[in-house]
Amino acid sequence: MAPWCSAVLQLKGFKVKEDKSRRRVTGVESTPTLPPVPAPDPTLPPLPPVSLDDLAGTASLLRNAGTPVRVGRALDSIRAEFVATRQPLIDALNRSLAPLTGRSFDSFEANEAVVNSLAEFARSVGLRFECQKPGCGARSTLVLNAPPRMPGGAFSFRHIGPSGKRTDHVGASALPVLRLLAPE
């Protein structure tokens, strides 16, 4: 189990034991414990530094924009720079989520704790998950449904479909590929 998954479950008040042979959580107790501080992943690239000079340049672009058209162009330029510096971080986050693919935990409650943590994380940083249904790819929220024949729940991507109605895609018993997308 990824260290941060154990930390999430532990923060929710579960004590986690892992069976390394099956790569699944084998015991969940209700003893609250503090999670260990995870070590930084050396395989992820360092974040590009942001300096006050960068912010001053942004301010000067807007300060020197005397017309609405120039303000629009300045904002387009700032957005392009922001998107370019954001994408490497999103790529690094996607690589860090890869080990969760195909994972499921002991119970519906444990799966729900992981899904809620992932969904809250994505929401807090303004990102969405890409729906993994072939041919879809919509920006989605990760949810856990409770179908009667799946005691651990069904991992799904929820979004508005082409007809304008809410739709859930995938419905797998294990976590599908998780890929974060930047806002449009």
- Average pLDDT of the chain to the nearest whole number: 76
Tens digits of per-residue pLDDT, 107-162? 999 999 999 999 999 998 889 999 999 988 889 999 999 888 889 999 999 998 77
Tens digits of per-residue pLDDT, 94-122? 999 999 999 988 899 999 999 999 999 99
More confident residue, 177 or 26: 177
User: What is the rounded end-to-end Cα distance, in angstroms, of the chain?
Assistant: 32
pLDDT higher than threshold 90 for residue 32: no
Span 25-34, average pLDDT = 42
- With tokens 């974040």, the residue in question is 47
Span 72-101, average pLDDT = 84
Tens digits of per-residue pLDDT, 11-27? 555 555 554 444 444 44
pLDDT at 6: 54
Beta strand residue intervals within the chain, DSSP E: 15-19, 24-29, 128-130, 139-145, 154-160, 166-172, 180-181
Tens digits of per-residue pLDDT, 35-44? 454 555 666 6
Give the domain ranges of the chain: 3-39+101-181, 52-94
